[in-house]
């Protein structure tokens, strides 16, 4: 078990890294909207960043699996995100923003697996579900802190103040990860490799067998469809309300973030609890069910300019994202326990998520441009219905309480002793 000081540093890392890992998030759309970018252009440039992250996610997962310098990956990734975001502030042309978003996507692709690997290396499989809930709670608390500060600073000093806030959060994340004691990280456990008998070095799972695991592929497709519907919902909702003249852009965008993130904290803790007692299947089904309802309410709120619609829309965002933030790495860890390919498998699933999220912004942007914001929200909500059907028809992987590893339809890949 890791020293308490390392776990405190891990909590601090999740608090500060929350604002860094997602880049400018919904503030990017509002910032570019103020620079007279069209919804289609904003969606396209966000897609480019998502595609870059998609391509990099599996290689970054493999890097985290093989590297014993996981803390350094977090330091470098944080610095890269800040540099790219500053480039957007200084030169918001299409070419600069597209390149910066691509760089952001690649850096973020490394940060997610690095934090997951550090967490698994610190607490091991037995404590992973509970620690995931704590990680996500601190992550969402950090998002609330950053959003409140960004809203205040943006209202007072303008949107460029948001960029300075990101830089300050990056410094906090670097100091936090450096406070984690290197000796507390079990790098074999961090990649999901089963302990080997004395005198027998454990080896990681082969790639072909990993890719043949039907459960992992069903999960990947399900999450790709979910993020196709979810990826553009928050930034598009902010743009839609701003277009309706609902209030100050910085304050309104910050409020959408705060309401969602405040909901995610109890949802993350609930997800960890349900995973330990009921398994992840119920967690994922609830998350999938929240998005279609959210799309309907968002469509009504933007069509009829219902200011109070912001609250149920963002509460439901918190339900879905809060549950999935815990469920995604948790399910992957259970499916690939003992394979030595946890971060690669997580990278594969995150790649699928990235595909969905990247296409989401372009899809929503052009639907909003030609058919209106309400139509865009209905299309996004419909994607979640397809995701739920895929998950249930595909066998709904992720059931069983903590400590129970599901059977392996792909032929049993949990020995951790198959040559890479």
d(CA 312, CA 239): 17
pLDDT number for residue 308: 60
DSSP category for residue 338: B
Sequence-separated (6 or more) residues with CB below 8 Å from residue 177: 9, 13, 71, 74, 75, 118
pLDDT number for residue 416: 36
Q: H-helix or E-strand containing 370? A: helix 342-371
154-158 contact pairs (CB < 8 A, 24+): 154/27, 154/249, 154/250, 154/251, 154/253, 154/254, 155/248, 155/250, 155/251, 158/250
Q: What share of the chain is helix, strand, coil (3-state, %, to 5)?
A: 80, 0, 20
pLDDT number for residue 8: 93
Which CATH number does the domain 4-188+206-393 belong to among 1.20.1250.20, 1.10.540.10, 1.10.10.60, 1.10.3720.10? 1.20.1250.20
d(CA 313, CA 319): 10
How does 316-355 read in b/e, with b if 16+ C-beta sit within 10 Å?
Answer: bbbbbbbbbbbbbbbbbbbbbbbbbbbbbbbbbbbbbbbb
The residue to which tokens 């997962």 are assigned = 61
Are 257 and 319 a contacting pair, CB within 8 Å? Answer: no
Which residue stretches of the chain have pLDDT < 70?
1-3, 19, 22-26, 159, 194-209, 238, 240-254, 256, 304-309, 399-420
Can you tell me whether residue 187 is helix, strand or coil?
A: helix
d(CA 203, CA 193): 8
d(CA 274, CA 286): 11
**Geometric angle at alpha carbon 112, from 107 and 118, rounded to 5°:** 120
d(CA 272, CA 187): 23
Q: How many CB atoms lie within 10 A of CB 182?
A: 12
DSSP category for residue 405: P
Sequence-separated (6 or more) residues with CB below 8 Å from residue 207: 341, 344, 420
What are the domain boundaries of the chain? 4-188+206-393
Are 274 and 327 a contacting pair, CB within 8 Å? Answer: no
d(CA 419, CA 340): 11
pTM score: 0.75
pLDDT number for residue 30: 74
């Amino acid at each position: 078990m890791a020293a308490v000081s390392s776990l405190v540093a891990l909590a601090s890392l999740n608090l500060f890294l929350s604002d860094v890992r997602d880049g400018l998030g919904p503030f990017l759309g509002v910032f570019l909207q103020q620079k007279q970018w069209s919804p289609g252009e904003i969606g396209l440039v966000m897609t480019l960043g998502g595609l870059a992250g998609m391509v990099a996610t599996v290689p970054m997962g493999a890097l985290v699996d093989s590297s014993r310098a996981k803390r350094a990956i977090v330091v470098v990734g944080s610095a890269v995100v800040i540099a790219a975001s500053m480039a957007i502030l200084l030169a918001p042309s299409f070419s600069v923003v597209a390149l910066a978003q691509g760089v952001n996507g690649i850096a973020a692709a490394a940060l997610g697996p690095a934090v997951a690997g550090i967490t698994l290396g610190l607490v091991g499989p037995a404590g992973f579900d509970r620690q995931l809930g704590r990680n996500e709670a601190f992550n969402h608390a950090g998002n609330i802190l950053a959003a409140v500060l960004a809203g205040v600073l943006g209202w007072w000093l303008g949107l460029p103040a948001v960029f300075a806030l990101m830089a300050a959060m990056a410094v906090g994340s670097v100091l936090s990860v450096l406070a984690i004691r290197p000796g507390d990280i079990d790098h074999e456990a961090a990649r999901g490799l089963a302990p080997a008998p004395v005198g027998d070095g454990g080896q990681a799972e082969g790639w072909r067998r990993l890719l043949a695991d039907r459960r992992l592929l069903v999960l990947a497709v399900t999450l790709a469809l979910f993020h196709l519907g979810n990826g553009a919902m928050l930034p598009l909702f902010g743009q839609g309300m701003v277009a309706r003249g609902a209030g100050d852009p910085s304050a309104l965008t910050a409020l959408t973030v705060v309401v969602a993130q405040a909901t995610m904290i109890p949802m993350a803790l609930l997800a960890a609890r349900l995973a330990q007692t009921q398994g992840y299947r119920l967690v994922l089904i609830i998350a999938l069910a929240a998005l279609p309802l959210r799309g309907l309410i968002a469509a009504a709120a933007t069509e009829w300019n219902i200011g109070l619609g912001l609250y149920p829309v963002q509460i439901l965002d918190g339900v879905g994202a809060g549950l999935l933030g815990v469920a995604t790495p948790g399910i992957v860890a259970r499916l690939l326990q003992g394979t030595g390919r946890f971060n690669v498998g997580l990278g594969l699933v995150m790649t699928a998520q990235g595909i969905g999220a990247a296409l989401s912004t372009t899809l929503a942007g052009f639907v909003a441009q030609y058919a209106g914001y309400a139509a865009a929200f209905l299309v996004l909500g419909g994607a979640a219905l397809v995701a739920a059907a895929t998950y249930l028809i595909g066998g709904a992987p992720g059931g069983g309480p903590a400590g129970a590893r599901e059977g392996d339809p792909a032929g049993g890949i949990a020995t951790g002793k198959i040559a890479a």
